């Protein structure tokens, strides 16, 4: 197995007397989708916030391509190429797709926007991700469906040349067809060589796209398995704590 | 949106090889396609200043029918100078309204600035050089904006409250500067000239030529950059249409203003000096809002401040700067007003701010933030100015003016609310 892009070892995080993460390990590989599952309160969000630099861990090692790194601020995470697509999508309804994708890093030419260049890069990125549902990159985001918004939010992270993309519940609140679109997008994202970490409650979605499944249970990583080597019942067992994983972590 | 046409056959810029026809840019299609998709956007509620333009035309026709004096060169020039102060103030307010904020003190800020100016520049006051006095007034605007911006963006006090406080406080400041019951005449010829003098007739035509030249240059510069990036350009006919509209409208306005409109022996003709000043500020402001990061971030914050913050936008600084721009432009409005009235009294600027907000809303600027343009506010201000001007000519009591203006405002806000429902928003009837 190659060196993982992200390797977390023995991550500990407490809020006062409450130990939320009690020595968690997690690996994510380039070109692979790692699903992070677990019940409410298992510590998924806390794990992700540390990776994003929003809420640094108390203790533990973070290795980026084998190198020991510190992530204390969102800026440091961004510099490493770690992008988080949050559940409440961070898009501006009144701006169009191109403007949203380039928000905060517009291409300038003599101090003013190079709209042509941004439009080209935006549509290239969407095309590379095989997005077929968006008619025009100059559509206002307010006119998009939930799935299309999720698409724009994910495409935005790719535009940043992200190495690791964390998706927080990307299919929550989506219909069947739109869920399908987003899952396809997650696949093509991985095919770009990005390490995808996907948080989800929906095991059907997880088995549809994930290469690895990591299960958090009360602040501990109770299982890290190849998706091909396990099944729905086992994973439900790990999530609820009724089964114990016996194998070697993948 | 209708953008299913293949770009290669319909746009004059060659798309890059491999350009997929799956994702369009909204610029493809023939002239007819483009107009059709624009009509569709309008039907979906993206109307911009269209209702305001329609209102302006309807009101103009109505008043022309009711008063034979309305449609004369003299009244037309009067209308422009009457509107100028409100146009300026409405444009100032757009910068903060786009953020979803409000500046209720913009009017009194303009009043204090005008008071400062006359007291500093008048021989009976400090007799300062007028440029220096103007500089002090502008600095006062910057300081006021800095003050408001600090409380709103750093401390988190609602802008409504901070600026309401200033609205009350600055009335006292003007009173202190001018003195109770006092009145200062504007004695600087350069300032009086803004509203009361005209450019030579030839300068008006030069101004039109410059406007068309700049407009054409930016259009072709944009097209060049799009072609360079390999994305389709809108059919070039639209550039000619746009330039044609500017030529015809601008030509008509300047043509009318070139006619001698004097009622005495001394001829009066030419474009009032306030017009090029206002147009220049409108152009610079629009350029900043459309083409620079500062402008884009104002729209982004107005749309979703949290999204902007996560995208790395320095939300505090942008908000702060927008308030400084607003107060500074309000000072310009104050100077305009002083020039028009010819004097500054203790009540200067007290009544105008809500008209400014109304003008912006009538023009299609959304009070919820994120939607609207400077031009919209300017058109809205013209609508309100036409009402005031026309009703004045009809010799109706002053009360009618307020009633009609209020009615138009409610009408405009209703059109805005209904269009938002059609655009996909929700109408909550509770």
Using CA coordinates, name the residue in chain A closest to B226.
A116
Closest Cα in chain A, distance from residue B237 (Å): 19
Q: Which of B228, B302, B307 faces A116 most closely, judged by CB atoms?
A: B228
Mean pLDDT of A123-147: 84
Higher pLDDT, B156 or B36: B156
Q: Do A104 and B308 touch (CB under 8 A)?
A: yes
**The predicted structure's pLDDT at residue A85:** 87
Q: Residues B213-223: pLDDT tens digits? A: 999 999 999 99
Mutate to test the interface with A, among B17, B214, B290, B304 (most CBs of A within 10 A): B304
Pairing of strands A33-38, A212-217: parallel
Spatial separation of the C-alpha atoms in residues B209 and A73, rounded to whole Å: 53
Q: What DSSP letter does each residue of B84-147 carry, written as one string?
A: HHHHHHHHHHHHHHTTT---TTHHHHHHHHHHHHHHHHSTTTT---HHHHHHHHHHHHHHHHHH
Q: Do A95 and B231 touch (CB under 8 A)?
A: no
Q: Residues B113-152: pLDDT tens digits? A: 999 999 999 998 899 999 999 999 999 999 999 999 999 9
Q: Residues A39-53: pLDDT tens digits? A: 888 889 899 988 988
Using CA coordinates, name the residue in chain B closest to A75.
B312
Would you say A113 and B292 are in contact if contact means Cβ atoms under 8 Å apart?
yes
**Lowest mean pLDDT: which of A66-75, B36-45, B243-252, B370-379?**
B36-45
The CATH-assigned architecture of domain A6-91+162-240 is 3-Layer(aba) Sandwich (3.40)
Q: Do A136 and B225 touch (CB under 8 A)?
A: no
Mean pLDDT of B237-252: 94
Using CA coordinates, name the residue in chain B closest to A116.
B226
* Confidence class for position B22, pLDDT limits 50, 70, 90: low
Residues in contact with B260: Cβ distance below 8 Å, sequence separation at least 6, in sequence order:
B73, B267, B268, B269
Spatial separation of the C-alpha atoms in residues B289 and B334, rounded to whole Å: 23
Residues in contact with A175: Cβ distance below 8 Å, sequence separation at least 6, in sequence order:
A146, A147
* Confidence class for position B16, pLDDT limits 50, 70, 90: very low
Mean pLDDT, rounded, of chain B: 88
For domain B49-197+272-417, is the CATH number 1.10.3470?
A: yes
Q: Residues B314-365: pLDDT tens digits? A: 999 999 999 999 999 999 999 999 999 999 998 888 889 999 999 999 998 9
| pLDDT surpasses 60 at B45 | yes
pTM of the model: 0.88
* Confidence class for position B422, pLDDT limits 50, 70, 90: low
Pairing of strands A195-199, A18-28: unpaired
| pLDDT surpasses 90 at B401 | no
Mean pLDDT of A77-97: 86
Closest Cα in chain A, distance from residue B231 (Å): 6
- In 3D space, the residue among B15, B8, B378, B79 whose CA is nearest the CA of residue B227 turns out to be B15
Residue A117 with chain B: CB contacts under 8 Å: 225, 228-229
Spatial separation of the C-alpha atoms in residues A4 and A211, rounded to whole Å: 13
Q: Do B300 and A95 touch (CB under 8 A)?
A: yes
Q: Domain boundaries in chain B?
A: 49-197+272-417
Residue A108 with chain B: CB contacts under 8 Å: 293
**The predicted structure's pLDDT at residue B1:** 39
| pLDDT surpasses 50 at A141 | yes
| pLDDT surpasses 50 at B14 | no
Query: Across-strand partners of B114?
Result: none
Mutate to test the interface with B, among A110, A119, A151 (most CBs of B within 10 A): A119
Measured between its terminal Cα atoms, the distance across chain B in Å is 32
Residue B25 with chain A: CB contacts under 8 Å: 119, 123, 136-138
Q: Do A123 and B3 touch (CB under 8 A)?
A: no
Closest Cα in chain A, distance from residue B422 (Å): 11
Closest Cα in chain B, distance from residue A248 (Å): 38
Q: Do B293 and A94 touch (CB under 8 A)?
A: no
For B242, phi and psi rounded to 5 degrees?
-60, -50
């Amino acid at each position: 197995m190659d060196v993982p892009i992200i390797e977390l070892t023995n991550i500990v995080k407490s809020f006062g007397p409450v130990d939320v993460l009690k020595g968690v390990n997690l690996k994510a590989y380039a070109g692979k989708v790692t699903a992070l599952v677990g019940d409410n309160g298992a510590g998924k969000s806390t794990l992700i916030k540390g990776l994003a630099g929003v809420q640094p861990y108390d203790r533990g090692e973070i290795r980026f391509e084998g190198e020991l790194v510190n992530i204390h601020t969102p800026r440091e995470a961004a510099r490493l190429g770690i992008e988080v697509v949050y559940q409440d999508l961070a898009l501006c309804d009144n701006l169009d797709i191109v403007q949203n994708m380039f928000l905060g890093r517009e291409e300038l030419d003599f101090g003013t926007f190079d709209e042509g260049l941004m439009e080209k890069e935006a549509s290239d990125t969407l095309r590379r991700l095989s997005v077929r549902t968006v008619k025009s990159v100059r559509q206002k985001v307010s006119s998009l469906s939930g799935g299309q918004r999720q698409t724009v939010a994910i495409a935005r992270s790719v535009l940043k040349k992200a190495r690791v993309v964390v998706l927080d519940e990307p299919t929550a609140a989506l219909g069947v067809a739109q869920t399908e679109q987003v899952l396809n997008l997650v696949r093509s994202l991985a095919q770009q060589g990005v390490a995808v970490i996907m948080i989800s409650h929906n095991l059907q979605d997880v088995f549809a796209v994930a290469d690895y499944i990591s299960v958090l249970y009360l602040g501990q990583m109770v299982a890290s398995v190849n998706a091909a080597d396990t099944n729905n019942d086992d994973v439900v067992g790990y999530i609820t704590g009724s089964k114990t994983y016996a194998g070697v972590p993948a | 949106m209708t953008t299913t046409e293949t770009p290669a056959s319909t746009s004059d810029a060659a798309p890059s090889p491999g350009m997929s026809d799956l994702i369009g840019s909204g610029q493809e299609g023939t002239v007819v396609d483009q107009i059709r998709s624009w009509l569709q956007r309008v039907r979906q509620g993206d109307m911009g200043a269209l209702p305001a333009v329609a209102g302006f035309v309807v009101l103009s026709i109505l008043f022309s029918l009711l008063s034979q004096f309305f449609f004369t060169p003299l009244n037309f020039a009067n209308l422009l100078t009457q509107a100028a102060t409100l146009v300026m103030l409405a444009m100032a307010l757009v910068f903060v309204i786009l953020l979803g904020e409000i500046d209720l003190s913009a009017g009194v800020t303009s009043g204090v600035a005008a008071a400062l100016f006359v007291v500093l520049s008048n021989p009976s006051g400090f007799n300062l050089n007028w440029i220096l006095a103007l500089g002090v007034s502008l600095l006062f605007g910057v300081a006021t904006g800095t003050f408001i911006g600090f409380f709103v963006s750093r401390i988190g006090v609602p802008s409504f409250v901070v600026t309401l406080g200033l609205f009350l406080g600055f009335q006292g400041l003007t009173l202190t500067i001018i003195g109770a019951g006092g009145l200062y005449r504007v004695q600087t010829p350069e300032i009086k000239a803004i509203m009361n003098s005209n450019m030579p007739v030839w300068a008006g035509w030069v101004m039109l030529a410059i406007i068309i030249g700049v407009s054409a240059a930016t259009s072709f510069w944009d097209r060049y950059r799009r072609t360079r990036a390999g994305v389709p350009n809108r059919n070039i006919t639209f550039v000619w249409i746009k330039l044609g509209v500017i030529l015809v409208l601008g030509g008509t306005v300047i043509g009318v203003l070139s006619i001698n409109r004097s009622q005495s022996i001394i001829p009066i003709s030419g474009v009032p000096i306030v017009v090029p000043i206002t147009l220049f500020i409108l152009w610079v402001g629009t350029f900043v809002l459309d083409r620079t990061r500062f402008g884009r971030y104002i729209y982004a914050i107005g749309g979703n401040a949290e999204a902007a913050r996560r995208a790395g936008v320095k939300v505090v600084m942008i908000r702060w700067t927008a308030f400084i721009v607003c107060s500074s432009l309000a000072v310009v409005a104050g100077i305009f007003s002083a020039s028009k009235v010819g004097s500054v009294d203790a009540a200067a600027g007290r009544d105008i701010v809500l008209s400014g907000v109304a003008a912006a809303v009538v023009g299609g600027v959304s009070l919820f933030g994120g939607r609207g343009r400077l031009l919209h506010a300017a058109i809205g201000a013209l609508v309100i100015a036409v009402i005031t001007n026309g009703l004045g000519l009809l010799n109706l009591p002053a009360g009618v003016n307020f009633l009609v203006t209020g009615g138009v405002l409610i009408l405009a806000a209703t059109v805005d609310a209904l269009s938002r429902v059609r655009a996909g928003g929700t109408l909550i009837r509770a």
